[in-house]
Structure formats: structure tokens, C-alpha cells
Structure 1
Amino acid sequence: MKKLILLLLVCSHCLQGLCRQEMAPKSRSAVGSADFTLGEKEFLLNGKPFLIRAGEVHFPRIPRQYWDHRIKMLKAMGMNTVCIYLFWNLHEQEEGKFDFSGQRDVAAFVRLIQQNGMYCIVRPGPYACAEWDMGGLPWWLLKKKDLKVRSLQDTLFMQRSARYLMKVGQQLAPLQIQNGGPVIMVQVENEYGAFGSDAAYMEATRVNLRKAGFDKVQLMRCDWSSTFDKYETSPEVAVTLNFGAGSDVEKEFSKFKKMHPSAPLMCSEYWTGWFDNWGRPHETRSVESFIGSLKDMLDRRISFSLYMAHGGTTFGQWGGANSPPYSPMVTSYDYNAPIDEQGSPTDKFYAVRALMQNYLNPGEKIPAVPEPKPVITIPEFSFRQTSSLFDQLPPAHISDKIRTMEDLGQGWGRVMYRTRIDGSGVDRKLVVHDVHDWAAIFLNGRLIGKLDRRRNDHTITVPATPQVATLDILVEATGRVNFGEAIIDRKGITDSVMLEAGHEQQLLSRWQIYSFPVDYSFQADRKFVKRPASGPAWYKGSFRLSDTGDTFLDLSSWGKGMIWVNGYNIGRFWKIGPQQTVFVPGPWLKKGINEVLILDLEVPQKASIRGLAKPIIDKIVPDVSLLARKPGQLLELNGEQPISEGRFTEDKVWQEVLFKNEVKGRYFCFEALNSLLENDVTSSIAELQILGPGGKPVSTRKWKLIYADSEEVTSGNHAADRVYDLQESTYWQTESVSHKVTHPHQLVIDMGDLVPVTGMRYLPRTDKKKEGMIGNYRIYVKQEPFKF
């Protein structure tokens, strides 16, 4: 690491003279009226070339008391601009009730940016993504049964999003740079090309932003290099691209420069790391790959924004999920970013700081690194007071049929469905369509099984019950999908519950439905007793402090649930990891007695907690295997006839295979026969699309990966279902350590329905490495399952 930093410093003085004159950011008192526009291959600040060196932070993921510290950390890393998202659902949690106060005071955050002599890029949505619940869209939209989002086809969505943008304009339009503020650009929507291609929708959103008061500021949009040309926008909207650490910068911008030869170049999200999912390995990106592509951009005077510069924490219920496959996000948003979750500098921070020294404007200096925030440890303390969930049920909603959380007017948390089932002398099968997202099933108060959406679980066995019995299905929402077409993601049980015995099916009805919201007041209203709990329960404990500071509460002995400290909803925990601790900011603690409430839907191994000085965010304790290949399973392709076979090229772009004739099938098998590199035994795929009529990709909503001969899930998070996670910077890779795993490598996908198939598209891994790039291949499509 030291060698890398010294190498970056060597050319500092000789590179200084190559940088063009730019206007350095000024403090609030000195900014005054100014302008920021698009020039010939340059952004212009007051008519002079300006290279944006931005870092993204999200003010809701940082305690307000630390906002100024995190902004100063960005400046000490060499940034001149702060990029921010707004989340619509944070500011309008109830329809028509807007809140921009306290922790939600975005205008105060932007004014702090200006006071620190920096500029600001605002990304208001209405859609954001950001691994945030429903991508920032409010849950109450889901009360509309035929809801369409990010579309002109839905009047409700367009009207409500326009109203929201108007409220944002009231907060931030006065802070446009032309009005004397620090806001130099405002984004229109977010990565729309990965969702749709309706230019009219994007134009309507642009118009709504202008009407909201952003009538002077430069507008922008961001997309990927593979999607930016799916639609057109107004010439007044700057087009920028997003890509990740280790990318080939020239290749990322090659098509863009041909289509927009005079446009400024900007990577609006340069992914410094990646987000973590429950039950999957902690994500990291190496310093070397990250710095390499960043230096490539600086050498080419390409503006950038580090996503994330500092991730922070997704406190409370705000964590989102990917789908398909369904994969919820952890509470920590550390992101392997240059500034870690607690706000401390990492090796990446110092590598960026050293690199930036070579690209400063004449007279510009990077300030000193701010003093770190104090960190404390807390001795282990026990929870002796409990409140059984079954002993204190809230008033029930009575319904003859299943209803979702949204139907009940509930945004987040847990919901329990109770009914009575007739007695039976034989075991029966309970079929639940569909659990969103995790459920514990109880018969007469006894746990009989669990269902997990991550595994597409639908059924469990109900043991014989000679008499009428009480059936309880306790469902936890672990985060709404924040990306792609699966974003319409209602919670609870979304369809029906059946009881099957042989050929007989019974639709269960006459439900009592109980809501358990996330509000602290609801948790604090429980009645506690001093006895151990044997099932889902709240736990109350406390600890005393003489001095406050940041800490990480160790929850590794607990099951699954949520934690509140001094009334603050800290977030979700789950024993499967990789996150085993939760970050508790010092300003949310106090001298004297501090209260902790925990709702655990399971039973903790040990009902105690301690506060650590360092987090545990990389420890997997899997409850089930998420590998696609079952032990001993081997795909049999002898006698099967491939639909197509051929060889891919070395180009790291989408490559298409079209069949001679359309075929109908449900099961799709891709087989990699060898690698383009000699002696390379691995295969990798960033994204795979199965094509239907007209070359249009088949919907992935019902896909399930049922076989992969090999997956690398120890040295990295390269599971096989990465091939259809809609994220081009992640990829499936076969095991690289074991030399016993060799070609051929196979993937088998169940598409869920019988569909017409005309071909496939394949995207190689998008970084600079060539390992795993596929040479020869075969493709099989069948109506019946493959043999194993």
C-alpha cells in the first residue's frame, strides 16, 4: 500500500503544469451569483473549464451531528463537489404529509456543503435506487392495484411524483448556483435506461423539475454505457455514464464519444466497492483496480463522482433488495468505500488523497484530514426483561381473504396471519403464494417451519392434528426491491394460502391479521416480564456510560429482527451475516442509562450484547446453502441436442447468439466448453439474457437458477445467479482455487413458464481482466427438465 501511494506522488510536480486553470470552490460568503454550463468537451464554471471531482454521500445514512465531519472528510480526500440522493419515501412517509426537518433537512445539508467551500450535485429522483427500500418510491403507491411506476401510463404516479418534486424545489431551488448557492447540477430520474426506454416519460420528468423551480441549473442524467442510447433526452440535459472499479475507461466511453463527440465526459457513479446482501459474502474491490481506473479518468480529464465516497448506515427499515433472485440488503452501507461506515479513512481514502495531489489546480491545497470521531467499547450486558409476541397481540384486522401489508395501511415491519384449520389424522402440505419475505409457521404456538423468499420457498409440511388447530404465519418484510421490474413489491403474503392432502386442496380463509409496525412507540408500549422467552419476543436491556462515542453492538448470538437504542431505530440484524454488528453513533447515546429494545423473531443463543470498537461485517453463518448445485448432483447432457453452438469473440461487449428457428421451452442450459485464454479453467458471465420474439429479452421475474456446476463464493461473491441480477459490474465465476473444477461449465435456468426463445445475449465481465472469458459454447432449450 505504501509503495502504491509513493508511486502516485512521484509525478506530482510535473503533472501540475498540465492541468488547466479552474475556479476553486469558494466558501458561502464568497460564492455570490455564478453559472455552470456545458462547454466543448468541458464543464464550464463561470466560463472556465471545471473538472468535477465529486464524492457521493447520503445524508439520511449519516447522523445529522456528523454531516459536517463527513463533508470535511470528502474535501480532505481531494473532492471539490458532493453528490447526494434524495429519497421520496423518506420525506413523504404518509401520502400528502411532507417532512424536511431534522435528519431529513436536505437544505441544511446542502448549506453545509457550501459553507465548506464545495459544490453540490442533487439527485432528487423521483426514483433513486441506492439499495434503498423501493428505490426511494413511497410504499403507499402500492395501494393502487394496477400501479405502474416510472411511466406516463400511470396518472397517479405522475401526479404524485410531480408534487414531490415541487416540494424538493421549494427546499433546494434557492440553492442553485445561479441564485448564489452551491448546486451546479440536478439529475433527471436515475439510470432509466436499465428500466425503460420511454423518452416521453423522461421529458415529462425534466419538465416537472423545471416547474419545481430548477429553472436555471444545468440538468443531467446517468446511465450505463450499454443503456444510455436506449432513449433520447433534451439537448439541455447532460448525459453521463456509470461504471465500477477496474473498468476499461476508454471502452466505457467509446460509443458515447462517437454519439456525443463534443460533450463533456463524466462517470457520474464510479463504484468504489459494492453493497452487501444477507447470507452472501462481504463485497470488496481492491485499491489497485479502483485507483487504476480513477487515474485513467483524471489523465483524460473525465469528471467523476465516487459512489460511494462514504456509505454510512441504512438505519431503520430503509434497506432495499435486489430481484431476481430476491436478495435483501444488510443494514451496514459500508460499501467498501474510501471512508468507512464509522467515518474513518481507509487505505482507499489515502490512495485517493495521494492521487489527487497530482491533479490540483495551481494554488489549490487539500486540507488536513479531520480528527476521527471517538469510539468506545461497552462491557457485555444482559437482557432479563422479555415480552412474548404471542402474549400481546395488537387488535386484529378481520378478513375472509389474505391481505398484504399495504392493504392494511402498514408500510414496514411484520404481520401475522392467523386462522383455524380442521383436524386431520395425516400430514398435509401448506402452500403459501407468496411470502414477502420471510416467514415462521406455528401450529398451536409451536414452530413447525420457515419459508424464505431468497430460496423461493412456498411449502412446508403440517403434521397431523387430530383436533382443530390454530395456524399462525408470522411474516417479516426484509426490504422492498429497489431495482428493475420487480420493484412493484408488496409485503406480507401477496396471494393465497392453501392446505393440500393428496389431491384435495383447501383455500384457507377467515383470517385474523395482526400488524407489528417499526415505530419505536409501538415497541416501547409492550409489557415486559422477567423471564426467558421461548419464541418471537421483545427484549429490554440497558447499559450505563460515563462517556459517549461511536460503538458497534455485537448481535452475533441473536437470531433475526430489529434493534432500537434510546428510541432510534438502528436497523435489521440476521445471524446469517455477513454483518454481525450494528453501528450506533455516539450522538445517539448519552451519559448515564441507555435503553436497548430488540425484537427477535427467533430465540437468541445468548440474550446479551457488548459494544465493540470495530465492526464485524464479513462473517457468514449460513442457515441454508444458496448454491445452485445440490451435493452429488451432476447434469447429464449425453443424448441432448444443442439448439446452437459457436464461439465468442474477445470483445468485452454484449455478444448475441440468434437461433436459426424459434423454439419453445422452459428450461435453458448454457454450456461453456473452454476459455479464450490458454490454460484458463474458469468461466464467467456478467449478464445473460434469453431472447424471445423480436429479439426482446424474456422477463426474468419467474427465473430460478436450478444448476451451476461451479460457483466462486469463498474468495468473492460470484454466485451463479449473478448472471441475471441486472448488475453489469457483478458476475458469475466458477471456482478459481480448485484445479479439480475444469471445463465444461454449465448453467441451467428454469424460466418459470413455457416461452418462445429465439436466442441469447452474453456480457463478459466488465473489468480489465480476461480470465473466465468464454470461447466455445453450446446452448440447449427444453420443455421438460434436464436430467441430473
Structure 2
Amino acid sequence: HETRPAADMIAGIDEMLSKGISFSLYMTHGGTNWGHWAGANSPGFAPDVTSYDYDAPISESGQTTPKYHELRKTLAKYTGGKKLPAIPSLIKPIAIPEFKFTQVAPLFNNLPDPKTDRNIRTMEEYNQGFGSILYRTTLPELKQATMLTVNDPHDFAQVFINGSFIGCLDRRNGEKNIQLPPCKRGSQLDILVEAMGRINFGRAIKDFKGITGNVTITEHRDGRDFVCDLKNWQVFNITDEYSTYKSMEFTEADTTQKNAQGRLAPGVYRAVFNLKRTGDTFLNFSTWGKGLVYVNGHPMGRIWEIGPQQTLYMPGCWLKKGENEVLVFDILGPRQLKSEGLRTPLLDQLLLPKPPTHRKEGQTLDLTGEKPVLSAQFEPGNGWQEATFKTPVTGRYVCLEAIDAINGGQTASIAELYLLDNNGQRLSREPWTVFYADSEDMKKSNCSADKVFDLQESTYWKTAKNIDFPHHIVIDLGNTQTVTGLQYLPRMESDVPGAIKNYRIYVSENPFKL
């Protein structure tokens, strides 16, 4: 959930108006990604939540906020004495008491008729635009633990053997490999893949869903690796349409049948609740897993237990006096079969076991024996800066070591970073991932290291407070490249916080030691 303090917004607007500068406020009024059509940012695949509230002065549901009233006071200074118009009356949200989901259509009991294919194909090749897709085949005998590789899951895959859950592969984290246990010949392999939103902009906008390449197993025998490309698939297209879920066979939900993760089975769950009067509300799905929600046939949005969004905005015009129906397609399985309507949304509850940083516990970058290809200084001030190496270098891993800051502080920050190829042109950043970052400020803001290549100059990597220099970020280019230089953009604020002064660049074919 993007947020910005009111004082920062007001200060900028006040300064611009005092100098006669025009401006456009993004966003004035928050919104909602209806229809399960929320997209994703890239590079660094980052799916958007349903809410586009954006911490705007007028909220997603049309409510005025404290920020709105501060903005109104500021604008009033520049009206030439004219009185501002009255604030329109607001629609007051309603609360809906907790209600239970009493019916379920288990996913694996309600699969559509399959298609058959020797090779893997994407969703689009089956004329499917949204939803989930299940790939099924049989395995050879696995006498020992074996590595399964999915190239590539777009966007969230779950792996099952003979109906038993093995694990997940999350595109956001670049996950492609999972270990399979020993199993008998003919065991059923299922890979359930959910599309989490197509990329909104940039070169990666051509974003196919499902499995985009192939699936292999790698066995280690007699000191050698043997790779088997799995073939002969059954494919089940689970299209994201109300009719898909409504037509499934429902039975009474049994809340006692939970798996080892404390979840009920993946599937479609149904509830009804009654209203005497309608109104805007926020349906709470904090006890659910991951999936999609329909209310009275309307696609309300996507849910995921990790958040940060835990509620979905429910406009009162889509509710009815009397009985209302809720269908939830949960691909992970809920922990509790309940929901309720709240008067205020829950948009800032990121529920992860640990912050999503690019430094694992105990890791420290070791550059012993590494020679920098460039040691230099960045200039003070805003705007792009470019530096070239004395000679081209070849490698897959690039480390930027920030030695100190221009303002003498402890924090390092980068808005955008490009590397240059043998012709001095920018390398594509689509395959880039962050291999390591010594520090990322993730407590109150989303300043992860992948912000240096997310195509958005307003976002940035920032190190946490009270962490001394030097600071390091290591980027995996995805494959070996020839690099001749870099382009660096510091933060856009006038005081350029976190601007780096002295720095070194290292390039290596192999991962740096951690």
C-alpha cells in the first residue's frame, strides 16, 4: 500500500502554488482494480493488489481523509478570497456481522474436462486469459529425492503428488525448483498455476501465463545428473468466470478436514448473508489463503493472506436487501470459513514470517580477492550520471559497493540503475534479480533492492537506519553479459537523500562469496 505523509504532500503543493506552477495530483481519488484485472510491475515481478487507494486525499470508497482537509486548507490560500464549495455529503459505510461459509466445491473434484498435449503450452495457447490452469502427468520411478524444475511458472504454482501437497513456486522470488520425494512409477504429478496479473508496462508487457517453457526432473545417479523432460500432459483450464465456479457441485463444508498446514482443501466456498439495508462496506478475508472473490456475481478482487490488503471494498450498489451470495475460489485453502463487513479497510497488514529482504540470516558479502573494475565518485545533485569502464568486462554478477554518502550520513539510496553493453546501450533488465543486498529499509516503507530496476524513478532502494557503510547490492543479470559502464539515478528530492559519493563496481562470472 503506497503511502506518503500529508505534510510532505502539502509542502510540495504549497511551494508550487506559491511560485505559480501548475501541478497534477496523483492520486486525488483512490480507486479499485475491479474484475480481477489488477496487473503487475516489472522488472522484478510485483503483482498489484486489488485496492488502488494509494493513500489519496479521497479514499478508494470516496471518503474524505485528514490529508484531504489539509490539502483543502492549502488550496484555500490561492483562491483569491473566494470561498471553497461545500464538501459533498459522504456515504457512510455499514458493518456486516460475521457470517460463515457453509458450502464447498473441492477443486480436485470439480475439474473441467481435460485437454491433452505432449508438450507444455501456456494459458493463451488454450485461449484462456485469466484464472488458473492445472497441468497433470505421471512420473517415472523416483528412487530418491529428485529435483523438479518448472521453466517458468507464471505466476504462482503449487506442486502435488498423488493429491498430496509438496510445495509452492513463487515467480516474485524467482522460484523454479522444488524437491520431490521418492515415489513409485506412475505417480500423478499435478502443477496448479495461478495467473496473478499481467505486467503493466515496459518490455516485459508480453507476459504469458501458466507454464511458459517446460518441466524437468533431475536425478543424480553414479555421480552424474540425468535430466528428463516430462511429456504427455493433461491440461485443465480453470477460467476466471462466475459461471465456472457457480456450476461446480457443492457439498456441506467440513471444517475438521485440515491438512498439515492447517488449511482446508483448495476449492470454491459459498456463503450467504442477509441485509435489511445496503451500504458500502469492506469484506474481511484475513483468515483465507489466496484466490478470487465474487459477490452477487460481481468479481470483487484478489485476496492473499500475506496482504498488505486484507479487506475488499464492497460498494453498496452491488449489495441487495435480503440474501447476498459470496463465492471464494481459494487455491491454497482457508484457515477459517468466515468473513464480515468492516466500516474501515485493512490495507497495511503485511503478514510475512520475516521481511522480504535479499539477505538471508548470517549472510555477509566477502569480496576478498575480488578486484574492482571501477573505483570512482558520483557527483552531488539530481539527475542521471554515467560512468564507463577502462575496458569492457564480461560476467553475470555485478556488485555496486557504496563506500560513503555525499551528505556524510549512514544511508545509501538508488532510484534507478542501468548497465551498458559493448555498444554503450542499456542492457535489458527483464532477467535481472537481486542476488544480495546488505540492507533494505522494509519496516515502514517498501525500499527493497529490486527498486533499482523497476522502471519507476519515484521508487528507490534505501538502506535501513543506523547501518554503517559500506553498503552492497549484487545483481544477477540472468546470463553472461559484456558490460562497459553504468548509469545511476539518485533520489529525486532536492536534498538528494542517500546519494552515494565514493563507490566501486565488481563484475564476476560466478556468484560472489557470502
TM-score category of the 2 structures, normalised to the smaller one: over 0.9
CA distance in 2, matches of 1:310, 1:771: 29
Select the residue among 454, 467, 470 that pairs with 2:172.
Answer: 454
Contact 1:455 1:626 in 2 (8 A): no
CA distance in 2, matches of 1:770, 1:298: 22
Match of 1:744 in 2: 470
Match of 1:728 in 2: 457
Contact 2:41 2:200 in 1 (8 A): yes
Contact 1:666 1:751 in 2 (8 A): yes
1:365 CA drift (Å)? 4.4
Contact 1:436 1:477 in 2 (8 A): yes
Helix, strand or coil at the partner of 1:411: coil
Q: Per-residue CA shift, 1:454-512, capped at 9, x if unaligned?
A: 01010111111124111111000000000211111000001111121122111111111
Match of 2:100 in 1: 382
CA distance in 2, matches of 1:308, 1:460: 41
Contact 1:576 1:623 in 2 (8 A): no
Structure 1, 503-512 or 537-546: larger mean CA deviation = 503-512
Match of 2:33 in 1: 314
Would the alpha carbon gap of residues 289 and 768 (structure 1) be closer, same or farther in structure 2, given more than 3 Å must change? Answer: farther
1:299 CA drift (Å)? 2.8
CA distance in 2, matches of 1:668, 1:316: 40
1:301 CA drift (Å)? 2.9
Would the alpha carbon gap of residues 623 and 561 (structure 1) be closer, same or farther in structure 2, given more than 3 Å must change? Answer: farther
Unaligned runs of 5+ residues in structure 1 are 1-281
1:633 CA drift (Å)? 0.4
1:688 equivalent in alignment to 2:407? no
Match of 1:767 in 2: 493
CA distance in 1, matches of 2:206, 2:173: 19
Select the residue among 424, 438, 444 that pairs with 1:715.
Answer: 444
CA distance in 2, matches of 1:624, 1:444: 31
**What is the number of equivalent residue pairs in this alignment?**
502
- Normalised by the length of structure 2, the TM-score is 0.95
Match of 2:397 in 1: 667
CA distance in 1, matches of 2:423, 2:143: 54
- Normalised by the length of structure 1, the TM-score is 0.63
Helix, strand or coil at the partner of 2:109: coil
Match of 2:511 in 1: 785
Contact 2:381 2:496 in 1 (8 A): no
Helix, strand or coil at the partner of 1:696: coil
Match of 1:410 in 2: 128
CA distance in 1, matches of 2:3, 2:142: 52
Select the residue among 200, 203, 208 that pairs with 1:482.
Answer: 200
1:551 CA drift (Å)? 0.7
Match of 2:385 in 1: 655
Match of 2:11 in 1: 292
1:619 equivalent in alignment to 2:337? no
1:424 CA drift (Å)? 2.4
CA distance in 1, matches of 2:315, 2:196: 23
1:568 equivalent in alignment to 2:298? yes
Match of 1:36 in 2: none
Contact 2:373 2:506 in 1 (8 A): yes
Q: Per-residue CA shift, 1:692-740, capped at 9, x if unaligned?
A: 123211111111111111000002111111111111011111101xx2x
Structure 1, 448-457 or 347-356: larger mean CA deviation = 347-356
Match of 1:356 in 2: 75
1:584 equivalent in alignment to 2:314? yes
1:463 equivalent in alignment to 2:193? no
CA distance in 1, matches of 2:485, 2:67: 42
Contact 1:429 1:462 in 2 (8 A): yes
Alignment root-mean-square deviation, CA = 1.4
Contact 2:355 2:442 in 1 (8 A): no
Q: Per-residue CA shift, 1:538-597, capped at 9, x if unaligned?
A: 100011111111111111100000010011000100000111111101111011111000
Q: Per-residue CA shift, 1:363-407, capped at 9, x if unaligned?
A: x54321111112111111111110001001111121111111111
In terms of fraction of residues, the more strand-rich structure is 2
Structure 1, 619-628 or 347-356: larger mean CA deviation = 619-628
Match of 1:506 in 2: 228
Look up the equivalent residue of 1:456 and give its one-letter code: G
CA distance in 2, matches of 1:624, 1:420: 36
1:372 equivalent in alignment to 2:101? no
Helix, strand or coil at the partner of 2:52: coil
1:701 equivalent in alignment to 2:423? no
Select the residue among 333, 345, 349 that pairs with 2:64.
Answer: 345
CA distance in 1, matches of 2:196, 2:143: 36
Q: Per-residue CA shift, 1:586-624, capped at 9, x if unaligned?
A: 111011111000011112111111111111100111167
CA distance in 2, matches of 1:506, 1:638: 39
Structure 1, 325-334 or 292-301: larger mean CA deviation = 292-301
Contact 2:405 2:411 in 1 (8 A): yes
CA distance in 2, matches of 1:326, 1:632: 26
CA distance in 2, matches of 1:769, 1:590: 53
Q: Per-residue CA shift, 1:126-147, capped at 9, x if unaligned?
A: xxxxxxxxxxxxxxxxxxxxxx
CA distance in 1, matches of 2:424, 2:56: 38
1:685 CA drift (Å)? 0.6
Match of 1:753 in 2: 479
Unaligned runs of 5+ residues in structure 2 are 258-263
Match of 2:253 in 1: 531
Contact 1:287 1:348 in 2 (8 A): yes
CA distance in 1, matches of 2:449, 2:2: 16
1:676 CA drift (Å)? 1.0
CA distance in 1, matches of 2:114, 2:4: 48
Match of 2:239 in 1: 517
Helix, strand or coil at the partner of 1:338: coil
1:625 CA drift (Å)? 5.1
Structure 1, 459-468 or 586-595: larger mean CA deviation = 459-468
1:665 CA drift (Å)? 1.2
Match of 2:358 in 1: 628
Percentage identity across paired residues of the two chains: 45
Contact 1:431 1:499 in 2 (8 A): yes
Contact 1:718 1:732 in 2 (8 A): yes
Structure 2 matches for 1:424-435, cutoff 5 A?
A: 424-435=142-153
Contact 2:288 2:336 in 1 (8 A): yes
Contact 1:317 1:413 in 2 (8 A): no
Match of 1:234 in 2: none
1:551 equivalent in alignment to 2:281? yes
1:361 CA drift (Å)? 6.0
Q: Per-residue CA shift, 1:217-247, capped at 9, x if unaligned?
A: xxxxxxxxxxxxxxxxxxxxxxxxxxxxxxx
Helix, strand or coil at the partner of 2:31: coil
Helix, strand or coil at the partner of 2:111: coil
Helix, strand or coil at the partner of 1:482: coil
Contact 1:316 1:572 in 2 (8 A): no
Contact 2:42 2:199 in 1 (8 A): yes
1:491 equivalent in alignment to 2:217? no
